[in-house]
Chain A
């Protein structure tokens, strides 16, 4: 086995007629095209090419209620519809496989174990936006993902699923795999475009949106791996089937990466709308917190989403609306569980250290603000905090939030704001006593 030994709930999915993304991820042959096709692979692609118009595909996806699984949750079909109809320029589809949000490792499983699912989804999306060239931008550190995707791409070409005049329909589609150079920011779609063009990975001001002016200033759609992987199933089973899962505004299933202080860390596909509590405590998912410790906080959607308190965890559901009602976000679906022994300031320091390191340096508030915040938070953690530091942190967060080019600035400060709001006592204690309330046993730099 070459891929990472991550726990999945494929056993549930294979018995379910709903869960679909993880259905075959425990089958070691699934990454081979023959096995993939035995499992129904590329039937959606054939259906699209032979029986559907690009508009019909877009319509079906729009109808299904599928939302972007990379973090923003924007309706996928609507995004596809933004490609200008009268544009004579080439169009491009890009699969954003630069999964690097701390805590998130779901796309990795799909690419390593079921790469054809992603490729088929990319092909269908390309057809829907009338693109003849699609790119897969894979995080450079994901060696096995790159190898598996490359192998799958060659198989798809050999089987005539990609290339010129596919299955005699006259439709041409080529695929290019590009590997990232190690920057988190390149997962942000406009920075990804710059990187793909050979430029420095820095975000662009929107508008113009990529759908209008993206790669090489041509209409471009950027979708997440998981989003695209769901597309063949929507085409095969219909929008109604997809919509029958999840909640009204959060249709379908979603992959969650469960990590942190948890008995059974892993990747799980569930229908949207499931209580977060079940994810953490149910034996088929997280199976609770080790050593009977109490829950302190949950970061529900990857490092850039606001913390949830144990009280909020009691009521919040795993869907876009409920998360928003509870002041947080579903994000990329990376649930990080923190137990009672966690120093909140330490956890925040780890996050801001990451964001400071990953800030591209383009716009002033993010570039300078993340560095400043890191220094203040580090000083509090070191017991050198001063009165006024909490207010200063809040003020700096205000000066960054909503004032940067891309969401990295927001991502950096939203967890801080929530951690200061929900755990203010801990911050005050650290400043007052010259040491954090909770001792962290291991080195934190």
Chain B
């Protein structure tokens, strides 16, 4: 695996101790438990309940060890290493103890291995073979859990959209309940009853449907928790595994595909723990998102619009038509009238080829990967770009003492970093400060929560800085001046914050030793992001946050960072532009157009041919009617995608695009690490990987068989090697304070984000995920619901101008102000129709639908 990370984690001096295990001297950091220390040295101590990322509880008692000088057996997962300790893991007493535990564990276990889907990868099966008896001394009826009202003794009931529970197989290691609580902060699964009839079950009246629920199945050591995605479809020993990374998360979560080669089918995805990135936890989107590859609804052949109807066509016909039309537009209208929009989850090879196709072969600088951001300023070295390119280490969140999330609905945006923040709080007592325009789920781990008025970010940042100065925990070297010398009280009043809350947060932040500041999508997608970045720059300058720790706006998609670094922007940063010029033998003179500018040009009939690769702007770009108008007017629209979408519907040529599972490609995660996703199945139907499609178009456009002038791999290497410009937080920048509008009666701020189980137009084709999501909803506070006299499941109308949508109400557990959250990517609820391309905060009229 390529890993270009150059940033080393801070080498902390860890105290170590030396102990002897089975006659071998080993060294381990102080505080490690014996089980972990032994494992790190290749000595495996069997266990059921221990998990490397959870607190040890010592409940299964399988990991007994004998320590010289201690008369009793100890459990190694709860025994810290000590200097000079002499440990035996295979003594007679230990073996006897283990045998007894296996015997106890099995007395009420059904031993239905032949029909159990865990067979072949079951810890209990493996450890029984290794350490147990081949006979049972238990002469009584086994205890049987039976579902209420069922006559079957086979306990098999659904406790969530994906999870099926069999309580009889459960050995009560409590790993699922512990992970749910400790790692995910979820309480939809619990333990009920006690003693030998204790049982794991969904919380009364609830479903186990949290965004991490798939992990519970993966860590179950027996077949008590299985999921519909995998079970009974194939036996585990008939599968092969391939390493890959998720395209559903910008962190580059490491995954493993489980496939059957002959059938060319993927059966599941599991974690491939990488402590630097993911700790081995997968969000459900990553676990079940692979189903887009195996979906029966994929585009199967190229389509060409003939007489107003899209009809099946051959690849040759489609590609020749594309090359011909693009060439002819370039020749007749000029290269400024063609362009491409690419989804930021295409691999580096595809992105680089896309860039070369437009910049080199068609001589057009019109390329962009931002398909869901509001109309953005296109300056290459904006303050926001600097913020976004700051070095950031996911693993460093763990060791931060203070974590500030600013303008981030962390669970909806960065499920992996959300877990890291929880981990820092749970294991290292980190203080979490949450600042955002509405209360978010992760406020439950926060020590301070600042809910500022929508659209008042700069004032909230200014208030934090002024409070730190006022408290004497920061020295004003120009901060107050950069905010126009406005007082703390003044700034608080603009931001709608209580100054005491701001002071408490400011003190914590200013006195942090290793802070991590995560700037979220609510800033990244805002048209005011440069101004907000300036304010953050000043706060960083004042408090030295990025010097002591890290500050960054995190990339949103699996290869956003790659797209940026490879120059898939109309106006890339200077150094990238220089590199591109060198690689492509010069660039066209004209300024490239952003997504928004391309769409605008289309509406003016000034843009004639567009290639959309893997994206669905009709559903994702703000102001739906504008996008529809633009794409309706463009003369020639090519869309390559895996499924039919609202964008493919209006295309002149539709190309069936393979998924990332069907080709090998590299992705750059949010911290800049390059990771490879390997081809695991052959392209389905007639679909082709993006790289192959673009290569063939390029060959047709240039008239040569293959493009030999640019070595794609060399080009990628050269572009990724370009160092990001670094002038962040070096000086104060003047900030213009916003003047946020107040809500009028029933006109409230609308925030459009992702449902944690549904992240792009693609995931609606992952059936497991759709089992979680259901229909689109309008999430509002209980207070607002009361004022509107609506309850959960009732419907409300959201209106903006002439656009309106009707949605079911979901009453939020955490929202406490007048905002409405609506998830994106629901074909049935075109929420982008309510968004404007320029408004900093979208506001909608909300009203109850009668009847």
- A369/B57 contact (C-beta < 8 A), A361-B198, A375-B140, A403-B73 known: no
Task: Select from chain A the residue with minimum beta-carbon distance to B190.
Answer: A200
Within 8 A of A (CB), among B49-88: 56-62, 64, 71-73, 75, 78, 80
**B741 CB to closest chain A CB, in angstroms?**
42
Instruction: Tell me whether A403 and B196 are in contact (CB under 8 A).
Output: no
B101 within 8 Å of A (CB atoms): yes
Instruction: Tell me whether A370 and B57 are in contact (CB under 8 A).
Output: no
A367, A369, A386, A404: the one contacting B198 at CB < 8 Å is A367
Measured between alpha carbons, how far is A369 from B107 in the docked complex, in Å?
Answer: 9
Contact code string A387-405 (vs B, CB < 8 Å = 1, else 0): 0000010000001001111
A200, A358, A375, A402: the one contacting B72 at CB < 8 Å is A402
B104 within 8 Å of A (CB atoms): yes
B56, B104, B137, B190: the one contacting A364 at CB < 8 Å is B104
Instruction: Tell me whether B137 and A356 are in contact (CB under 8 A).
Output: no
Instruction: Tell me whether B196 and A371 are in contact (CB under 8 A).
Output: yes
Chain B residues near A372 (CB-CB < 8 A) = 104, 107, 138, 140
Measured between alpha carbons, how far is A405 from B57 in the docked complex, in Å?
Answer: 9
Contact code string A354-371 (vs B, CB < 8 Å = 1, else 0): 001111111111011111
Instruction: Tell me whether A363 and B61 are in contact (CB under 8 A).
Output: yes
Instruction: Tell me whether A364 and B105 are in contact (CB under 8 A).
Output: yes
Instruction: Tell me whether B196 and A361 are in contact (CB under 8 A).
Output: yes
Chain B residues near A360 (CB-CB < 8 A) = 194-195, 198
Instruction: Tell me whether A362 and B101 are in contact (CB under 8 A).
Output: no
Measured between alpha carbons, how far is A183 from B195 in the docked complex, in Å?
Answer: 11
B58, B97, B191, B197: the one contacting A363 at CB < 8 Å is B58
- A399/B198 contact (C-beta < 8 A), A205-B75, A364-B59, A405-B58 known: no
B57, B62, B97, B193: the one contacting A362 at CB < 8 Å is B57
Highest count of chain B CB atoms <10 Å: which of A207, A368, A402, A403: A368
Chain B residues near A358 (CB-CB < 8 A) = 194-195
B57, B75, B196: the one contacting A368 at CB < 8 Å is B196
Contact code string B95-111 (vs A, CB < 8 Å = 1, else 0): 00100110111011000
**A295 CB to closest chain B CB, in angstroms?**
33
Chain A residues near B143 (CB-CB < 8 A) = 371
Chain B residues near A363 (CB-CB < 8 A) = 58-61
Instruction: Tell me whether A359 and B195 are in contact (CB under 8 A).
Output: yes
Instruction: Tell me whether A362 and B104 are in contact (CB under 8 A).
Output: no
- A205/B78 contact (C-beta < 8 A), A200-B191, A361-B196 known: yes
Within 8 A of A (CB), among B134-155: 137-140, 143
- A367/B196 contact (C-beta < 8 A), A205-B56, A402-B73 known: yes
B326 within 8 Å of A (CB atoms): no
B172 within 8 Å of A (CB atoms): yes
- A205/B97 contact (C-beta < 8 A), A362-B174, A368-B104 known: no
**A310 CB to closest chain B CB, in angstroms?**
31
Chain A residues near B196 (CB-CB < 8 A) = 356, 359, 361, 367-368, 370-371
Instruction: Tell me whether B100 and A399 are in contact (CB under 8 A).
Output: yes
Task: Select from chain A the residue with minimum beta-carbon distance to B181.
Answer: A199
State how many residues of chain B have any CB contact under 8 Å with chain A. Answer: 38
Chain B residues near A405 (CB-CB < 8 A) = 58-59
A207, A357, A365, A375: the one contacting B101 at CB < 8 Å is A365
- A365/B100 contact (C-beta < 8 A), A205-B78, A370-B195 known: yes
**B109 CB to closest chain A CB, in angstroms?**
10
Highest count of chain A CB atoms <10 Å: which of B72, B73, B104: B104
**B313 CB to closest chain A CB, in angstroms?**
63
- A183/B104 contact (C-beta < 8 A), A205-B58, A375-B140, A405-B59 known: no
Task: Select from chain A the residue with minimum beta-carbon distance to B96.
Answer: A399
Contact code string B186-225 (vs A, CB < 8 Å = 1, else 0): 0000110111111000000000000000000000000000
Task: Select from chain B the residue with minimum beta-carbon distance to A367.
Answer: B196
**A405 CB to closest chain B CB, in angstroms?**
6
- A361/B104 contact (C-beta < 8 A), A205-B58, A375-B140 known: no
Measured between alpha carbons, how far is A392 from B107 in the docked complex, in Å?
Answer: 14
Measured between alpha carbons, how far is A404 from B107 in the docked complex, in Å?
Answer: 18
Chain A residues near B140 (CB-CB < 8 A) = 372, 375, 379
Instruction: Tell me whether A356 and B195 are in contact (CB under 8 A).
Output: yes
Instruction: Tell me whether A368 and B97 are in contact (CB under 8 A).
Output: no
Task: Select from chain B the residue with minimum beta-carbon distance to A185.
Answer: B194
Task: Select from chain A the residue with minimum beta-carbon distance to B100.
Answer: A399
Chain B residues near A386 (CB-CB < 8 A) = 139
Chain A residues near B58 (CB-CB < 8 A) = 205, 363, 405
B60, B64, B191: the one contacting A361 at CB < 8 Å is B191
Highest count of chain A CB atoms <10 Å: which of B100, B107, B137: B100
Task: Select from chain B the residue with minimum beta-carbon distance to A404.
Answer: B61
Within 8 A of B (CB), among A200-219: 200, 204-205, 207
Measured between alpha carbons, how far is A365 from B59 in the docked complex, in Å?
Answer: 9
Task: Select from chain A the residue with minimum beta-carbon distance to B195.
Answer: A359
- A361/B172 contact (C-beta < 8 A), A200-B191, A205-B56, A367-B196 known: yes
Chain B residues near A361 (CB-CB < 8 A) = 172, 191, 193-198
Within 8 A of B (CB), among A328-375: 356-365, 367-372, 375
Measured between alpha carbons, how far is A405 from B56 in the docked complex, in Å?
Answer: 12
Task: Select from chain A the residue with minimum beta-carbon distance to B73.
Answer: A403
Task: Select from chain B the residue with minimum beta-carbon distance to A368.
Answer: B104
Instruction: Tell me whether A403 and B60 are in contact (CB under 8 A).
Output: no
Instruction: Tell me whether B194 and A183 are in contact (CB under 8 A).
Output: yes
**B278 CB to closest chain A CB, in angstroms?**
27
**B224 CB to closest chain A CB, in angstroms?**
15
Chain A residues near B197 (CB-CB < 8 A) = 361
A185, A369, A375: the one contacting B104 at CB < 8 Å is A369
Chain A residues near B104 (CB-CB < 8 A) = 364-365, 367-369, 372, 399
A185, A359, A403: the one contacting B61 at CB < 8 Å is A403
Chain B residues near A185 (CB-CB < 8 A) = 194
Chain B residues near A392 (CB-CB < 8 A) = 137
A200, A367, A379, A399: the one contacting B195 at CB < 8 Å is A367
Measured between alpha carbons, how far is A379 from B60 in the docked complex, in Å?
Answer: 28
**B139 CB to closest chain A CB, in angstroms?**
8
Measured between alpha carbons, how far is A357 from B71 in the docked complex, in Å?
Answer: 29
- A365/B137 contact (C-beta < 8 A), A205-B78, A356-B196, A399-B100 known: no
**B798 CB to closest chain A CB, in angstroms?**
38
Measured between alpha carbons, how far is A375 from B171 in the docked complex, in Å?
Answer: 19
Task: Select from chain B the residue with minimum beta-carbon distance to A359.
Answer: B195
Task: Select from chain A the residue with minimum beta-carbon distance to B61.
Answer: A364
Measured between alpha carbons, how far is A363 from B62 in the docked complex, in Å?
Answer: 10
Measured between alpha carbons, how far is A86 from B198 in the docked complex, in Å?
Answer: 41
Instruction: Tell me whether A371 and B195 are in contact (CB under 8 A).
Output: yes
**B75 CB to closest chain A CB, in angstroms?**
7
**A138 CB to closest chain B CB, in angstroms?**
20
**B90 CB to closest chain A CB, in angstroms?**
18
Within 8 A of B (CB), among A380-427: 386, 392, 399, 402-405
Measured between alpha carbons, how far is A183 from B56 in the docked complex, in Å?
Answer: 24
Chain A residues near B101 (CB-CB < 8 A) = 364-365
Measured between alpha carbons, how far is A296 from B728 in the docked complex, in Å?
Answer: 85
Instruction: Tell me whether A364 and B194 are in contact (CB under 8 A).
Output: no
Apart from A399-B97, A405-B58, list 18 A-B contacts with CB within 8 A. Answer: A185-B194, A200-B190, A205-B56, A205-B57, A205-B78, A360-B195, A361-B172, A361-B191, A361-B196, A363-B59, A364-B59, A364-B60, A365-B61, A367-B196, A370-B195, A371-B196, A372-B107, A402-B71
Q: Report which B residues bind A (CB closer than 8 A).
A: 56-62, 64, 71-73, 75, 78, 80, 97, 100-101, 103-105, 107-108, 137-140, 143, 171-172, 174, 190-191, 193-198
What are 22 A-B pairs at a CB distance below 8 A? Answer: A200-B191, A205-B75, A207-B80, A356-B195, A360-B194, A361-B191, A361-B195, A362-B57, A363-B60, A363-B61, A364-B101, A364-B105, A364-B171, A367-B195, A367-B196, A368-B105, A368-B107, A372-B104, A372-B140, A386-B139, A402-B71, A403-B64
The list of the 9 closest CB pairs from A to B, nearest first, reads A361-B198, A399-B100, A368-B104, A371-B196, A359-B195, A205-B78, A205-B58, A402-B72, A375-B140
